[in-house]
Amino acid sequence: MLEIDAVAFDLDGTLYPNYRFYLRILPFAMKEHRLLRAFGKARDILRATRIGDPLYEQEFYEAQAFLTAHLLDSETSHADTAAMRQKIEDCIYRGWEPVFKNILLFPHVPETLAALKRKGLKLGLLSDFPTERKLMFLGLSGIWDTALCSEEIGRLKPDPKPFMVLAEELGTIPERVLYVGNSRRYDVTGAAHAGMQTALKVPFLLQSFSKSINRKNFVFCDYRYLFNYVIK
C-alpha cells in the first residue's frame, strides 16, 4: 500500500459528474445568471485575498455576501449585504441541495470507498460548498471520518489552510494523506502545497493526455484504478 493513513476526496465533479448537476440547475442558471456571475467573481476575489487585506479578516459568509451584493449592483452604494447573504443561502446553498436526490455517482465510488475503509484507511472529504445534505442525498452519509467545508474554515481552495485542517481532523500529517479531486487548479495545487499526495480524476478520453503533462500526480478515470493504485 501507499505510505498513507487516509484518502480524502473533493465532492463536486469528483464523486459524481458535474454535467449532471449543471443540466438540472440550467433553468435557475438562466434566470439568475447575473447573481451567479457576481457570486463566482466574489469567490475569485476571496481566493486571491491575502493576509493584510481587510477582507481576509472578515467572516467568510459576510465577506462573500458583501462582495456579491456590490458586484451585482455596482452602481449603488447601498447594496444590502444581509439580504444578499440570505438570498445566497436560499437560492444557492439550500436551493440546489434537492437536485442531488437524482444525481448518480461515478461508477464504483461506493465500492471503492468501502474497500479503502476495509483496508484500515481513514476517509475524509473537503469541499468548497456545504457537504452534509449533499452526502445524504447521494447516499454517502456515515462513511467519513471527517467531512469539511472550506467556507467554514474561512479560506477556499487552493489555499492550503483547509487541507491542513483536514489532515488534523484525520489525525495525521498532510504527507500521509492522498487527496483526490477533479481540478488541477484547486484540488491538486492546494493539496500539494499543503504537502499531501494527490490523485486527479479525469474523463476517460483525457487520461493519457493528463498523464503526459502531470507526472507528479496519479491520474485516473475509473475508481477501480484508484483502489489498485492505493493498495498496489
CATH of the domain at 116: 3.40.50.1000
Cβ count within 10 A of residue 216: 8
pLDDT in tens, the chain (232 residues): 789 999 999 999 999 999 999 999 999 999 999 999 999 999 999 999 988 888 888 899 999 999 999 998 865 555 689 999 999 999 999 999 888 988 999 999 999 999 999 999 999 999 999 999 999 999 999 999 999 999 999 999 999 999 999 999 999 999 999 999 999 999 999 999 999 999 999 997 666 555 544 556 899 999 999 999 999 7
Spatial distance between the Cα atoms of 70 and 39, rounded to a whole number of angstroms = 10
Domain identity same for 115 and 215: yes
Domain identity same for 177 and 62: no
Instruction: Give a yes or no: residue 1 inside a domain.
Output: no
Q: Which three cell numbers stand for residue 33?
A: 445568471
Domain identity same for 89 and 152: no
* 142: CB partners within 8 A, 6+ apart: none
What does the pLDDT read at residue 210?
A: 55
| Phi and psi, residue 32, nearest 5° | -115, 40
Query: 12 with 186: CB under 8 angstroms?
Result: no
Domain that holds residue 137: 6-17+104-231
Domain identity same for 174 and 118: yes
Residue appearing with cell numbers 495545487 = 189
Domain identity same for 93 and 42: yes
**What is the model's pTM?**
0.92
